[in-house]
Chains A and B, each alone.
Chain A
């Protein structure tokens, strides 16, 4: 489904990604791990099309189509979803309006009829309960005054609403207490499907106790330095990043 070949990307002239190679097939869950500053978030942002980053070389295809040629919104409509680590607030725009605009943009792209306010309300209420968010959230401004945990669940709710082909979850577990983590993990597991791939970016392995990945990749210094199965994550938990030759202190200091 997603194929990344020798991807290099930089921001403000500074190279962050230094040759990423990754293949993700439909139905798979990949965990991208690594210390802070290793390029995990950059990879997510570049795939989603954040224009603050410049792709300097390499190629990325989604189901054979050149992703890098597509605008951000076109990638989204092709099924790329990014759950933001720090979702931004849009004051005065209700969550409901934002979500309906988004869902309808996708539907229009697929040649489907737009959902009216009543239909959408019903759907949104169902999905918000799935991630344990009070439907009253729908009426609040986008991310306005949301707690960290509420923002994450709100992001996940959007993934469930939009049913993407590739869901990229950027540190969706960070800042969550154990109950919230469970809710988020249940949500992600609900998202797992044969025709959908999930790429989870995480610093800690604890999320992986709840969401068992098919593959784990360790990203450091802008490259994937090790790939393996689920056991790699457990090994990382036990030994830290040090045994891979990564300076753990630097990573911890960055926390």
Chain B
């Protein structure tokens, strides 16, 4: 035991790599939330009337709601009036039309994060809608997408340019009253991504967004809406990092996916928000509502997430399987260390006939962290022949961390089939000894063992993301052993 503990303690002490703050003048609201703030926010964004009404309705609903307290996490009470609800990089003109017009300071930020936009667009063929603070500042690859008829823009643009789509689908999967954080997001969402893939179109490239929280005391409220029309396919990548700071920051995003008949949406996330320091100081509160509605027959929604960041994570990317034969998937790696807390999992709601879902969850806990899987598999009365397979594995590193599994199964249909497997294991002294006896550094050994543990999830990630995810785990476990 002695070896592993010592190694792991070292391992966990690595510094957060993306901990720098970019000096860009921000145009920021004073802290506080009321109807006026929402009207101002909406006005700045030039939103139509329906949008401001929608936000206000959400706000009024939110005022009546309580913050959820059932998750296996603890954090100080958040003062929602101490948060500023709008922040944008200052710019004299309108949105830049090309990278040349983007603030060089901002581009350097991306460089530091290892996201060279211009290289990425050429090499990887990835279109990037970069969200910096609250406003989209650079969008690339719009043209080939436009040719295919794919709409890929900021949600603010979509509200102005495609109001009928937004009105039809915004809030259709995650309504105002769904939960406290989604309600807040609906009232004050700053920006985010909108994707519409028309009938029969296979999106010609992976779509990607990088997030970054920047200005101090700024809550970031991303709103993403992806609609895949009949017979279409889209793969969307989301990755985020945040600068190091001491105050906790709230991040309450909402992502809605809608898949019509025979459509497929693949949504992949690498989440690396600032997790706080080794004493548990600082770090992001990541309270996210992600849900996909497979409303069409034979439609498919697939979530893959690699969660290594944030001080507190509260996140359950879910699928509502309404269409006949629709498929839901959830592949997750959640790594916590130091004092990080994660309560994450999924909900698979089977409503249609012959719907099926797969859940593969890999939780890795190190340091004094707490890592919980929480999952609901529900079969409605109409879900004849529906089935679910759940595999839930926990890996413990050291002996001061915790892993918890809270699986819920509700069935109102006798023909439904559920399989559930769960394991808990440790990076064993024997494994470490074998690796070290073969000349492998303890640090590299832990990283190798952890990556092996996550293999089933990593192979679901798009290629370049899989590499990034492997590196991220390595970095997250760096400096630990000695």
Instruction: Tell me the nearest residue of chain A to B428, going by C-beta.
Output: A88
Q: Which of these, B431, B434, B440, contacts A105 with CB under 8 Å?
A: B440
CB-CB under 8 A for A90 and B449, given A73-B441, A73-B442? yes
Pairwise interchain contact A50-B448, C-beta atoms closer than 8 A = no
Q: Is B386 an interface residue (CB 8 A)?
A: no
Q: How far, in whole Å, are A184 and B256 apart by their CA atoms in the complex?
A: 59
Q: Can you list 10 A-B contacts with CB-CB less than 8 angstroms, sorted by A residue number?
A: A48-B433, A51-B433, A52-B429, A75-B437, A84-B434, A92-B453, A93-B448, A93-B449, A105-B440, A158-B438
Q: How far, in whole Å, are A167 and B431 apart by their CA atoms in the complex?
A: 20
Q: Which of these, B430, B437, B438, B452, contacts A92 with CB under 8 Å?
A: B452
When distances are taken between beta carbons in the complex, the residues of chain A under 8 Å from B454 are: 92
Q: How far, in whole Å, are A142 and B454 apart by their CA atoms in the complex?
A: 15
Indicate with 1 or 0, residue by residue over B418-454, a CB within 8 angstroms of chain A CB atoms. 0000000000111101111111111010001101111
Q: Please give the distance in Å from B56's CB to the nearest CB on chain A.
A: 50
B residues neighboring A (CB under 8 Å): 2-3, 428-431, 433-442, 444, 448-449, 451-456
A residues neighboring B (CB under 8 Å): 48-52, 71-73, 75-77, 81-82, 84, 87-88, 90-93, 97-98, 101-102, 105-106, 109, 141-142, 158, 162
When distances are taken between beta carbons in the complex, the residues of chain A under 8 Å from B436 are: 49, 71-73, 76
Pairwise interchain contact B439-A105, C-beta atoms closer than 8 A = yes
Instruction: Tell me the nearest residue of chain B to A87, going by C-beta.
Output: B434
When distances are taken between beta carbons in the complex, the residues of chain B under 8 Å from A87 are: 434
Q: Please give the distance in Å from A197's CB to the nearest CB on chain B.
A: 17
When distances are taken between beta carbons in the complex, the residues of chain A under 8 Å from B431 are: 88, 90
When distances are taken between beta carbons in the complex, the residues of chain B under 8 Å from A52 are: 429, 433
Q: How far, in whole Å, are A84 and B435 apart by their CA atoms in the complex?
A: 12
When distances are taken between beta carbons in the complex, the residues of chain B under 8 Å from A101 are: 438, 440, 444, 448
A/B pair count, beta carbons within 8 Å: 79
Pairwise interchain contact A109-B449, C-beta atoms closer than 8 A = no
Pairwise interchain contact A49-B440, C-beta atoms closer than 8 A = no
Pairwise interchain contact A97-B440, C-beta atoms closer than 8 A = no
When distances are taken between beta carbons in the complex, the residues of chain B under 8 Å from A93 are: 448-449, 451-452
Q: How far, in whole Å, are A142 and B455 apart by their CA atoms in the complex?
A: 13
Pairwise interchain contact B448-A106, C-beta atoms closer than 8 A = no
Pairwise interchain contact B439-A51, C-beta atoms closer than 8 A = no
Q: Please give the distance in Å from B471's CB to the nearest CB on chain A.
A: 15
Known: A51-B3, A72-B436, A105-B441. 5 other contacts (CB 8 A): A84-B437, A92-B456, A93-B449, A102-B438, A109-B439
CB-CB under 8 A for A49 and B437, given A88-B428, A88-B430, A97-B448? yes
Pairwise interchain contact B440-A91, C-beta atoms closer than 8 A = no
Instruction: Tell me the nearest residue of chain A to B454, going by C-beta.
Output: A92
When distances are taken between beta carbons in the complex, the residues of chain A under 8 Å from B428 are: 88
Pairwise interchain contact A48-B452, C-beta atoms closer than 8 A = no
CB-CB under 8 A for A162 and B438, given A50-B433, A52-B429, A101-B444? yes
Q: How far, in whole Å, are A82 and B456 apart by their CA atoms in the complex?
A: 31
Instruction: Tell me the nearest residue of chain B to A99, going by C-beta.
Output: B438
Q: Please give the distance in Å from A240's CB to the nearest CB on chain B.
A: 33
When distances are taken between beta carbons in the complex, the residues of chain A under 8 Å from B455 are: 92
Q: How far, in whole Å, are A88 and B441 apart by their CA atoms in the complex?
A: 17
Query: Which residue, B2, B440, B454, B456, has most C-beta atoms of chain A within 10 A?
Result: B440
Q: Which of these, A90, A91, A106, A142, contacts B439 with CB under 8 Å?
A: A106
- The 7 A-B residue pairs whose C-beta atoms are closest, nearest first, are A92-B452, A93-B452, A102-B438, A105-B439, A72-B436, A92-B455, A76-B439
When distances are taken between beta carbons in the complex, the residues of chain B under 8 Å from A92 are: 451-456
Q: Which of these, B3, B437, B452, contacts A91 with CB under 8 Å?
A: B452
When distances are taken between beta carbons in the complex, the residues of chain A under 8 Å from B3 are: 51
Pairwise interchain contact B437-A76, C-beta atoms closer than 8 A = yes
Instruction: Tell me the nearest residue of chain B to A78, going by C-beta.
Output: B439
CB-CB under 8 A for A48 and B439, given A92-B452, A93-B451, A98-B448? no
When distances are taken between beta carbons in the complex, the residues of chain B under 8 Å from A73 are: 436-437, 439-442
Q: How far, in whole Å, are A242 and B368 apart by their CA atoms in the complex?
A: 54
Pairwise interchain contact A76-B449, C-beta atoms closer than 8 A = no
Q: Which of these, B2, B441, B449, B456, contacts A51 with CB under 8 Å?
A: B2
Query: Which residue, B430, B437, B454, has most C-beta atoms of chain A within 10 A?
Result: B437
Pairwise interchain contact B437-A90, C-beta atoms closer than 8 A = no
Q: How far, in whole Å, are A75 and B438 apart by their CA atoms in the complex?
A: 9
